Amino acid sequence: MPPFYPRGGGTDNRGLGVIVGVILAGGRASRLGGGDKGLRPVGGRPILARIVARLEPQVDRLILNANGDPARFASLGLEVVADGAPGLPGPLAGVLAGLDRAAELGAAAIVTVPGDAPFVPGDLAARLAAAGPFAMATGPDGRRHPTFGRWPVAQREALAAGIAAGARRVGDWMAGKGAVEAPFPEADGFLNVNAPEDLAAAEAVAARLG
């Protein structure tokens, strides 16, 4: 198990305790023909590489939640943590795995992002923390994006119980536990690559943003 060396770069979280970023990459990419969505290129770079570049400066440590052989992500240089909950119950299991690892590291909270969103907002951690200790992002249209969230490590036991009881919808579970909404003015940051048309849209954004 790698030792915990805080980078000291989580400036958006200064005074709030150690924050661990968790990239949720456990999806099966069924609408893209299978495989790892995060390894698909957008603008000549893997989606996950883009996420790392955007999220790593915002947190003290960054880990990847994914199942299967972790060697396929070796180029990212991240610790890979698999789901602990049986039966692949979805992204909530990835959140729980991140919370469990963060607890081992002595962290205060995690910031989660999906592993198929190449344009993660550069101020995600700061805006979520400003909204509250337990928060989910909302886009300019008011739509909730709960996998872009801030989770206190203290939610571990409640989340484990929720998953065991059948909880699967991230937004519903968060709202039921009092998570607040953090509004964001831009939409590009929440573009998920789920289907071929999303890849085309992401290529257009990458061409505009670089």
What pLDDT does 35 receive? 72
* First-last CA distance in the chain: 36
Q: What is the mean pLDDT of the chain?
A: 90
144/86: higher pLDDT: 144
16/12: higher pLDDT: 16
CB burial of 69-103 (b: ≥16 within 10 Å; e: otherwise) equals: eeeebeebebbbbebebeeebbbbbbbbbbbbbbe
Name which of 181, 186, 61 is nearest 132 in CA terms: 181
Q: 68-99, pLDDT tens digit by residue?
A: 999 999 999 999 999 988 777 789 999 999 99
Q: List CB contacts of 124: < 8 A, sequence separation 6 or more.
A: 55, 58, 111, 113, 137, 148, 184, 189
35/9: higher pLDDT: 35
Q: Is residue 5 predicted with pLDDT exceeding 70?
A: no
| 22-31, 73-82, 102-111, 119-128: least confidently modelled range | 22-31
What pLDDT does 63 receive? 98
Q: Residue 207 corresponds to which tokens in the numbers above?
A: 């061409």
- Residue 32 to residue 141: CA distance in whole angstroms: 26
Q: What are phi and psi of 32, to 5 degrees?
A: -110, 15
Q: Is residue 191 predicted with pLDDT exceeding 90?
A: yes
Q: Is residue 1 predicted with pLDDT exceeding 70?
A: no
Question: pLDDT-based confidence at 14, cuts 50/70/90?
Answer: very low
What pLDDT does 33 receive? 58
Q: Which CATH number fits domain 14-209: 2.60.40.10, 3.40.50.800, 3.90.550.10, 3.30.1540.10?
A: 3.90.550.10
- Residue 21 to residue 15: CA distance in whole angstroms: 16
Q: Is residue 13 predicted with pLDDT exceeding 60?
A: no
What pLDDT does 27 receive? 64
Amino acid at 56: E
Q: Tokens 């661990």, residue?
A: 20
Name which of 98, 199, 179 is nearest 138 in CA terms: 179
User: Are the C-beta atoms of residues 83 and 75 closer than 8 Å to each other?
Assistant: no
Mean pLDDT of the region 191-206: 93
Amino acid at 99: L
List the chain domain ranges.
14-209
- Sign of the CA dihedral 66, 69, 74, 75? negative
User: Are the C-beta atoms of residues 48 and 76 closer than 8 Å to each other?
Assistant: yes
